[in-house]
Amino acid sequence: MFVDIDKIEEAEEPTVVLDSYEVTGEDFSLKMGLSSILGTRKNQQDSVYGQVDGKRALAIVCDGMGGMNGGELASQTAVKILAEDYYKNRPDSDIPGFFREEAIKMNAAVRDLEDGKGNPLNGGTTVWR
């Protein structure tokens, strides 16, 4: 499940967006809640992902850096890379090592993002897993 709050109408007053999701695995369920105070921004630059697969759960929060160009694309890119690689590689032994390697990979991908004219976006995001 990928949740992206995107293209919210520009508000004169701070806007709070609330949503929640529940995903069930074999032995447990994962409940995710999402809230965001948008302020007067036109769009939200954060992305979240949550998935339960059997006895595993993965939750990712990427906070696009609003003061930088491309924060929205940066957060989406980081979420996509981490989620896809986690389920493709299914790390069982060196999980901290897996996340270190992913951090390097996500950083490179975000650093290399370009706009439609080929100029660097200079975007940024934080990642919580």
Better pLDDT: 6 or 104: 104
Reported in sequence order, the residue ranges of 41-103 that DSSP labels E, i.e. its strands, are: 46-53, 56-64
18 has pLDDT over 50: yes
**CB neighbours of residue 57 within 10 Å:** 15
For the segment 23-60, what is each residue's pLDDT rounded down to a tens digit? Answer: 776 777 777 666 666 666 666 788 888 777 777 778 88
Beta-carbon contacts of residue 77 (< 8 Å; ≥ 6 apart): 106, 109, 110, 113, 125
Give the count of beta carbons closer than 10 Å to the beta carbon of residue 76. Answer: 23
- Residue 82, pLDDT above cutoff 90: yes
Residues counted in the chain: 129
* Cα separation, 94 vs 86, whole angstroms: 12
Confidence (pTM): 0.74
Return the pLDDT at 10: 45
For residue 15, what pLDDT is reported?
Answer: 53
* Percentage of the chain modeled with pLDDT above 70: 67
